[in-house]
Amino acid sequence: MFNEREALRLRLEQLNNAEIQVIRELQNERKDIYSRLRELDRQKVSSSHHKKTLLQLVDETANLFKK
């Protein structure tokens, strides 16, 4: 017999699966953005201002979390 409790449990399972899919999509988009930023950093575009590359910023941030 299909009751309200079972229906709610099933809906929670569906929501969990949808959440996982959205998280994966966001992770893939973030990965693509970082990849493109790294490509741009490697092009070493001349600039009158010295700006840190994305990799330098990521390293600095990671080091802050290690402390």
Segments in the chain below pLDDT 50: 48
Domain ranges of the chain: 4-66
Q: Per the structure block, which two tokens stand in for 20?
A: 């996982």
For residue 43, the 8-state DSSP code is: T
Instruction: Specify the pTM.
Output: 0.58
* Residues contacting 38, CB < 8 A, separation 6+: 54, 55
Residue 32 pLDDT: 95
* Structure confidence by residue, pLDDT tens digits, 16-35: 999 999 999 999 999 999 99
Residue 48 pLDDT: 45
CA distance 41 to 34: 10
Residue 49 pLDDT: 58
Residue 12 pLDDT: 98
Short-list 24, 43, 44, CA closest to 32? 24
